[in-house]
């Protein structure tokens, strides 16, 4: 039987030489696998009182939105610098293949919010760490993280606080 892993394609040397890009579009176009993935990313958080799901720009949005609906929570986009139209908190980060800054609207959270952070890939952990710092800066509590794919050999987990972390697929090579 095919597994979630079979729907993630390796694209060598994209977006730059030496990076193996993980293309999740084959998974997204398959309803059953997409649904199975969303259930997997959400289920451990179902009884944790999650009120907001953060999706990280840009493929994180595709996974965070259905997770938010399933969890009965709101969706907060964390976007690349300059894309959000109102006042933001901003955090610099370094990911596997570039440096950038990410923003979140200053009024995206209330102090009682319990937050799940969702992205497609956990590589070095720089991006997810920056999202974590933003949520804290905005005054809410991060309950956990969900990733479609974890590149275990880059040890991104080490950048993140202890606590629930779900990866639908862990790849150590």
Is the Cβ of residue 107 or residue 170 nearer to ligand AMP in the bound state? 170
Note whether 127 binds ligand AMP by CB under 6 A: yes
Note whether 144 binds ligand AMP by CB under 6 A: no
> Judged by CB under 6 A, which of 95, 139, 152, 171 binds ligand AMP?
95
Minimum Å gap between C-beta 143 and ligand AMP is: 19
Is the Cβ of residue 42 or residue 91 nearer to ligand AMP in the bound state? 91
Task: Examine the residue annotation and report whether 59 is marked as an active-site residue of this protein.
Answer: yes
Note whether 41 binds ligand AMP by CB under 6 A: no
Q: 9-16 long-range CB contacts below 8 Å, 24 or more apart?
A: 15/97, 16/97
Task: Examine the residue annotation and report whether 96 is marked as an active-site residue of this protein.
Answer: yes
Note whether 37 binds ligand AMP by CB under 6 A: no
How many residues of this chain interact with ligand AMP, rule: CB under 6 A? 20
What residues are annotated to the active site? 59, 96
Give residues in contact with ligand AMP (CB under 6 A): 19-22, 56, 59-60, 95-96, 119-128, 156
């Amino acid at each position: 039987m095919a597994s979630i892993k079979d729907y993630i394609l390796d694209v060598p040397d994209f977006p730059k030489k030496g990076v193996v890009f993980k293309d999740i579009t084959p998974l997204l176009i398959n309803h059953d696998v997409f649904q199975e993935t969303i259930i997997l990313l959400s289920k451990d958080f179902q009884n944790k009182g999650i009120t907001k799901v953060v999706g990280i720009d840009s493929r994180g949005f595709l996974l965070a939105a259905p997770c938010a609906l399933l969890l009965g929570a709101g969706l907060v986009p964390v976007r690349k610098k300059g894309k959000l139209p109102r006042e933001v908190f901003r955090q610099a980060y370094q990911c596997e293949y570039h440096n950038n800054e990410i923003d979140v609207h200053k009024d995206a959270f209330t102090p009682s919010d319990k937050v799940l952070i969702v992205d497609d890939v956990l590589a070095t952990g720089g991006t997810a760490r920056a999202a974590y710092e933003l949520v804290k800066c905005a005054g809410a509590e991060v309950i956990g993280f969900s990733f479609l794919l974890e590149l275990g050999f880059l040890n991104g987990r080490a950048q993140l606080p202890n606590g629930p972390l779900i990866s639908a697929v862990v790849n150590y090579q």
